[in-house]
Amino acid sequence: MRLGNSGHRVIDEGFFSDGDLDFATRGVLGRAVHGASEVGEVLATVARVRHASDWSAQWALTAQAVEKAADDARAGGHLASARSGFLRAATYWSCVVDGLATASDSDGLLDAFRAHRSAWDSFVDCSEGAHVRVAVPYDGGTLPGYLLRPDPSGEPRPTVIVTNGSDGSISDLWVPAAAGALARGWNAFVYDGPGQQSMLFEQQTCFRPDWEAVLGPVVDALVARTDVDAQRLLGYGVSQAGFWLSRALAFEDRLVAAVVDPGVVDVSESWTRPLSKKMVAMLDDDGERHAFDRDMGLATKLPSLGRTLAWRSRPYEHSDWFDLYREVRQYRLDPADAARITTPLLITEPEHEQFWPGQSQRLAELVPHADVVRFSAAEGADRHCQPLGRLVTEDRVFAWFEDRLSGIA
């Protein structure tokens, strides 16, 4: 699908005719700006990918080679080189996880996830004490989190709490927000919430729409720490967290400011858009369950659709297709809740947003005094979460954060 009009074939038409592979390639290329990938490694890997079925295997080869070099650097006492390698390896293992999650046979998915998390943990361990693990008490257990700090001094600092989207990894949060926070002398806190990565793969938890029940415990854990300035907490929501963070802010007011990238008012629109009007109407009638499941069963005989839905549905609690779509419809921001938000909110709005088009502006109309920052194809920063415009995004978003913090002693 052509989204741009630059006159350059690769930029307009993509690296792959498969839209999912093309978007994934743009995303991993964009992570090079803060060292979470290497352009040459990315291009060499995707050059070996001929079909979607090749994706995981080729990224595994790259991840193994990069991680081996990082292991050797660590053994030789070269911690800066080791950190660089482990961070890139975590990104590449994340690509393996993404590929296996959409495969018809997901054998090896848990092993790939554990390889990803091992590389990330090695990156943290090579930080010379700057980055630390923080377990967040939650629902009788804990959420795994990491406080990423500029140095190990323990000085109280502004802290950006970064909430992930539906399927992103912990390492995916390095470029959108964590590295930018550290460059400004702030902390960044990244974590897995229910239904995300380790909480899904290892603890089999599911998503929940009322993210205030998640963000609240995260804030509680951070304000209790001496290396976090409790008066200068910031929030950053990536992708589907554009909904989760907005919803949480209606009930959690301890953040000084927050950014959602992009704005999401109704998660379910990305699910129901491909359905016929008749099938959407079925979801309003419990008596149509059998007919809806029958029609979805026929539709998912298309291999690509079946794989995508199997991947996307995994974190939602459901027993059949009807339950799944009804559950996803719970992920809507009530206008009354949006009107309750008092935290200053910045909403990104990229040109050619493909998952929730128009919803950034809709969110801005619902939230009192929200600001919108737009990104365009002309500046190379279009599409969902601006995959090839991460520094452009960071510069504008963090300048806005700095302005919000400037009046706080």
Domain boundaries, the chain: 1-126, 129-267+331-409, 269-328
- Same fold across 1-126 and 129-267+331-409: no
pTM for the whole structure: 0.95
CATH code for the structural domain at 1-126: 1.20.1440
Q: How many Cβ atoms are within 10 Å of 144's Cβ, its own excluded? A: 21
Q: What is the pLDDT of residue 1?
A: 41
Is residue 254 within 8 A of residue 219, CB to CB? The reply is yes
Residue 10, pLDDT score:
65
Backbone angles phi, psi at 199, to 5 degrees: -70, -30
One digit per residue, the tens of pLDDT, for the chain of length 409 reads 445 555 556 666 789 988 889 999 999 999 999 999 999 999 999 999 998 889 999 999 999 999 999 999 999 999 999 999 999 999 999 999 999 987 756 679 999 999 999 999 999 999 999 999 999 999 999 999 999 999 999 999 999 999 999 999 999 999 999 999 999 999 999 999 999 999 999 999 999 999 999 999 999 999 999 999 999 999 999 999 999 999 999 999 999 999 999 999 999 999 999 899 999 999 999 999 999 999 999 988 877 777 778 888 999 999 999 999 999 999 999 999 999 999 999 999 999 999 999 999 999 999 999 999 999 999 999 999 999 999 999 999 999 999 999 988 6
Task: Record the tokens describing residue 34, joined without a space.
Answer: 């803060």
Check whether domain 129-267+331-409 has CATH 3.40.50.1820, yes or no: yes
What was the pLDDT predicted at 2?
Answer: 45
pLDDT at position 52, please? 87
Give the whole-angstrom CA distance, residue 384 versus residue 377.
Answer: 11
What is the pairing mode between strands 187-191 and 141-148? antiparallel
